[in-house]
Amino acid sequence: MELIKYPRYVDESKCIACNACAEKCPKKVPSEYDTGLAKRKAIYVPYAQAVPLKYCVDPETCIYILKKRCGACVKKCPTGAVDLEQQEETVALNVGSVILTAGFQPFDPSQFDSYGYAKHPNVVTSMEMERILSASGPTGGHLVRPSDDKEPQKIAWFQCVGSRDLNRCDNSYCSSVCCMYAIKEAVVAKEHAGDGLDCAIFYMDMRTHGKDFERFYDNAREKQGVRFISSRVHTIDPVPNSDDLELRYVDENGDIQKEVFDMVVLSIGLETSAQQRALAKKLGIKLSDNHFCQTATFDPVATSRKGIYVSGAFQGPKDIPQSVIDASAAASAAGEILADARGSQTKAKEIVPETDIIGQRPRIGVFVCKCGINIAGVVDVPAVADYAKTLPYVEYATDNLYSCSQDTQDNMVEIIKKEKLNRIVVAACTPKTHEPLFQESMINAGLNKYLFEMANIRNQDSWVHKNNPELATQKAMDLVRMAVSKVALKEALKESELKINQTAMVVGGGVAGMAAAQSLAQQGYETHIIEKSDHLGGQALNIYKTTSGEDVRSKVKDLIKAIDQDKRVHTHLNTTIAAVDGFVGNFKSTLANADGEYSLEHGVVVMATGGSAFEPDEYEYGNDPRIVTSLQLDKMMMAKDPSLASLQSAVFIQCVGSREPQRPYCSRVCCTHSVHNALELKKLNPDMPIYILHRDVRTYGERELLYKEAREAGVIFIRYELDNKPQVAIKNGAITVNVIDHILGRPLELETDLLTLASAVLPNKANDLAQFFKVPINDDGFFVERHAKLGPVEFATDGVFLCGIAHYPKPLDESIAQGKAAASRAVTLLARKTLHTSGEVAETNPMWCSSCGVCVSICPYSAPTFTEEGPFTGKAQINPVLCKGCGLCVASCRSGAIHLKGFDNDQIFAQIFSLDEAVR
């Protein structure tokens, strides 16, 4: 692989992000980060939290680079980091695999004349709206419209701008994410502006098919008063003598409406940029007709080229959780082919033996950082260092220009050794970013890393009190004094080490579970699949074809065969879990089958418990063999049932059991399934009239093309409302379906000889497992992951992962990707081989414990338990592996029996008591 490394014009190892360069830079340009709504300089950091937090120069606007004049930044930089002569470099890399996560570009709506995006400042894109609503945005989170900074009273969102549209752009697919983000923006806008704000969303189909999305939609509509209008607005006209905008649209009754809004937000779609397409071409990777990376259902992250994997929106328009799932799946896929070379390119660290300081009088070293002028420009740093020398136990104090630079760190190691220091205070920036760096130096000096404290005299002092140097200096002294008094009481803490059992257990042998097991095995881990039925395959065996036409059964059988042949996968059929003991790295599960019980030790567990189809309780289901569920129709198709070809007509009813008050979630897969089955029926008999009765057609992503194909094939889509559901009757041997046609507003009677009910996807009951592994289940019966966006395949409980329908209804490709993703997350744990617990954990003193159980019930991580044997039976003990050091138990212990190492009572009191002059 050959890469071009573009010059940054700033040496990252020297830049301290002090902003001196940007302050002096005379060139102002629109900020990309704030979508052009705010300005940045030609030398800049993209945003305050940017990683790396290092400045860079924009060569397209820098006056020096363009005209060889200026260079103010070079002169102003206190560390000499700016180098405007930097050149492009070519870097050659040898790698075993490549993962493409090139992303997407937001659609540019300026090509649409009718929306006047380029002409009217108050027509903004959804990306611009994100910035307007953001507290770190150009308006500081104050919701005002761009033209006159007026607070808007009425805002309209237009859905499907640059999506589902072949007339004005080439994007016929659905962008998947816009419906949800529009609702979110409307709700957040109302939070900012109050209930008086009128938010209206103009849509074609509301697609809230993700986990908990439907609830959010219901809440926005019913509780927050967001208006949802099913209409595509054709024109926006400016209202003369104002910045307002008049919309004309056809409402659901077919009447033309005019309405004036203060602002219009265009919900722009996702597309692949020309640059991203060129990258694919360069790598020799096939793209779909819509320019997304081509993948297969049973290999959802593999590109057309071996060893190159894909994830994120470059594979297809998708939201954050799906991108994160695919990303882990791609990591797993790369890990599967590189397993033999694991660890071959990484380096192990050298360990310096630790000095024993027990019994020693504290000898504290204080290092006060100038951070160039960042601190020293406001705070009198030498005075603070001198003051530090006067404090008890301080043996050494000095100031440094840049404490974090490598030479200062090396010097610090020497000083610690020479002065025999046994506790260190660094007064500098923030422990959030720099504590690990200084602790590393302590380790290199043979000192326990917990004998350390930082005083935050930059982020929380010099930077926020720059007009008050005297008081800022006083504050710095106070903070140093408090830190010194705390560090004197600190102890060397042990991080206990724990072996991780290198075996994995997967609960559930459906495609998600099998995908997880296969991936774990290929990455070198013994894996056990626990399946309660007598065969592997799960629900996938009931599905006829994938949307791209692959035969599901044969693909699933291939997968089962691969599992059976893999010696590292052990399948336990007809087996359930009876009990679970232990915790991350050391689980011991009791398995039960017809022959009795036996135990399995494993380090991690993947929950792939799956789901099943809801059995309809309406629409005359069960009263006529011609009324079937989607899966029953699949079964007829698999059996090549001859009656299908001779059907006179077919009707599908969507949302049977889904999006109802008692089950308020969208089952995600049914719209695509019915549309696909309708097309299969059309293949058998193109003249067969087919009706799909739906509430919104949710063929998200590139599945939209199937919907388009179905409409072109003559499938008729009729929308119904929840309060006006279709009526099914069996009269004289005929099935009739009555529905109100939403366009004509008239009742319609359909006679059919096949009625398919798209029934909801239900999670399998897993309450026992949830209790065994201490993981939560939501109101709908699905498992609750660690984080909806950033932790979609793992639980808050360490060592427990999830995938497939146990998480939420999803199609095969997404289940398989999530199975692989769960494997990837599990491997990151297994690969460590040992667990190091943090030293800053809680510990009980059993002599003081009154066995009241408050800590046991209050801990969110189940770390405290009652001791079961020995002299302290019945007293609480805390497992350091599970403890996250939050201190909740310490604060709630009525006996004062729990200590939180590193944040113990005496240490916090020491800080409070040394406030002294600071509060007098």
Question: Does residue 848 interact with another protein by CB under 8 A?
Answer: no
User: Which CB, 374 or 589, lies closer to another protein?
Assistant: 374
54-73 residues near another protein, rule: CB under 8 A: 54, 56
Question: Does residue 888 interact with another protein by CB under 8 A?
Answer: yes
* Contact of 154 with 160, CB cutoff 8 Å: no
CB of residue 342 to another protein, shortest distance in Å = 4
Closest CA to 323 of 310, 309, 333: 310
Closest CA to 539 of 527, 556, 519: 556
Residue entry with tokens 């840049």: 402
Q: For residue 217, give every residue at least 6 positions away whose Cβ sits within 8 Å of its Cβ, in sequence order, or none.
A: 179, 183, 206, 208
Residues belonging to the chain: 920
User: Which CB, 531 or 702, lies closer to another protein?
Assistant: 702
Question: Does residue 499 interact with another protein by CB under 8 A?
Answer: no
Of the residues 273, 288, 460, 851, which one makes contact with another protein according to CB under 8 A = 460
> What character string, x for contact with another protein (CB under 8 A) and - otherwise, covers 416-435?
--------------xxxx--
Q: Which among 61-69, 239-247, 451-459, 584-592 is the span making contact with another protein, rule CB under 8 A?
A: 451-459
Of the residues 300, 312, 513, 611, which one makes contact with another protein according to CB under 8 A = 312
* Contact of 878 with 898, CB cutoff 8 Å: yes
Question: Does residue 886 interact with another protein by CB under 8 A?
Answer: yes
Question: Does residue 909 interact with another protein by CB under 8 A?
Answer: yes
Q: Which among 317-325, 510-518, 634-642, 743-751 is the span making contact with another protein, rule CB under 8 A?
A: 317-325
97-156 residues near another protein, rule: CB under 8 A: 97-104, 106, 127, 130-131, 133-137
CB of residue 199 to another protein, shortest distance in Å = 15
Q: For residue 492, give every residue at least 6 positions away whose Cβ sits within 8 Å of its Cβ, in sequence order, or none.
A: 354, 356, 357, 358, 448, 450, 451
Closest CA to 816 of 339, 380, 297: 297
172-231 residues near another protein, rule: CB under 8 A: 180-181, 183-185, 187-188, 212-213, 215-216
106 three-class SS: strand
CB of residue 14 to another protein, shortest distance in Å = 16
CB of residue 816 to another protein, shortest distance in Å = 17
The 3-class secondary structure across 859-885, one letter per residue, is CCCCCEEECCCCCCCCCEEECCCCCCC
User: Which CB, 10 or 505, lies closer to another protein?
Assistant: 10
User: Which CB, 217 or 396, lies closer to another protein?
Assistant: 217
Residue 681's alpha-carbon distances to 542, 630, 642, in angstroms, are 18, 13, 12
User: Which CB, 94 or 732, lies closer to another protein?
Assistant: 94
271 three-class SS: strand
Of the residues 75, 286, 342, 683, which one makes contact with another protein according to CB under 8 A = 342
Q: Which among 199-207, 253-261, 719-727, 786-794 is the span making contact with another protein, rule CB under 8 A?
A: 786-794
523-562 residues near another protein, rule: CB under 8 A: 523
Find out whether the peptide bond into 52 is cis, omega within 30 degrees of 0.
yes
Residue 198's alpha-carbon distances to 115, 190, 193, 788, 821, in angstroms, are 20, 8, 10, 29, 41
CB of residue 66 to another protein, shortest distance in Å = 18
287-306 residues near another protein, rule: CB under 8 A: none
Question: Does residue 825 interact with another protein by CB under 8 A?
Answer: yes
Q: Site size for another protein, by CB under 8 A? A: 128
Question: Does residue 887 interact with another protein by CB under 8 A?
Answer: yes
623-652 residues near another protein, rule: CB under 8 A: none
CB of residue 438 to another protein, shortest distance in Å = 15
> What character string, x for contact with another protein (CB under 8 A) and - otherwise, covers 3-22?
x--x-x----------x---
User: Which CB, 462 or 539, lies closer to another protein?
Assistant: 462
Of the residues 373, 415, 831, 852, which one makes contact with another protein according to CB under 8 A = 831
Q: For residue 474, give every residue at least 6 positions away whose Cβ sits within 8 Å of its Cβ, in sequence order, or none.
A: 917, 918
Q: Which two tokens stand for residue 198?
A: 């009128």
Q: For residue 471, give every residue at least 6 positions away whose Cβ sits within 8 Å of its Cβ, in sequence order, or none.
A: 465
Of the residues 90, 167, 346, 565, which one makes contact with another protein according to CB under 8 A = 346
Whole-number Å distance between alpha carbons of 184 and 180? 6
User: Which CB, 215 or 711, lies closer to another protein?
Assistant: 215
CB of residue 519 to another protein, shortest distance in Å = 11
DSSP 665-723: S--SSHHHHHHHHHHHHHHH-TT--EEEEESS----GGGHHHHHHHHHTT-EEEE-BTT
